[in-house]
Amino acid sequence: MEDRIRRAEEADIDALAEMYLELHNFHAAAIPSRLRPVARVDHRLLHGIRKILGDPGAIILVASAGDRVVGFAEVHLHETEEDPAIVQRRYAHLQSLFVFPACRRQRLGTALVRAAHRWAQEQGATEMEVDSWEFPDGPLTFHEKLGYATQKRRMVTRL
């Protein structure tokens, strides 16, 4: 399974853009009060992917099935600011994770997250954080199965 995971490269940009678009629209359907659906890939998305690919403090990992890219994980490194009231730490943030629905339940998401963990450890990170929208059929249960636990919860009320 791990051999199906690799670092994304320039040739993967179109496939990545397609997956980012599908991921966004999945969230937009579940959270219409926060996100609008997007009809097509635009230059901002392509530019953003290229920027991440060139960032030494970030990585996009891709999962493949045959010769097709079917999933990805986007990870960024962070360090806390110098502050005597805060414990200094270097950590990674799992910004995005996606596997095409037809390819789920093959442990590709788990393999992507584990590869992201390894990369983050190699970069000196001691923790991985993930933000997870809470809605039916959302990713919360998946993250919890991988050992993630809620540390802080943002709550909202309508005014």
Domain limits of the chain?
A: 2-9+55-145
Rounded CA separation 59/80 (Å): 19
Could you tell me which CATH class the domain 2-9+55-145 is placed in? alpha beta
- Residue range 5-38, pLDDT digits in tens: 999 999 999 999 999 999 999 999 999 999 999 9
Comparing CA positions, the residue from 136, 81, 85, 98 lying closest to residue 19 is 98
- The residue ranking higher by pLDDT, 56 or 80, is 56
Q: How confident is the model at residue 153 (pLDDT cuts 50, 70, 90)?
A: confident
- Give residue 98's Cα distance to chain centre: 7
Which tokens belong to 125?
């990170």
- Residue range 75-129, pLDDT digits in tens: 999 998 888 898 888 999 999 999 999 998 889 999 999 999 999 999 999 999 9
Residue 157 has pLDDT above 70, yes or no: no
Q: How far is CA 11 from CA 29, 53, 146, in A?
A: 29, 11, 30
Q: How far is CA 105 from CA 84, 119, 145, in A?
A: 45, 23, 13
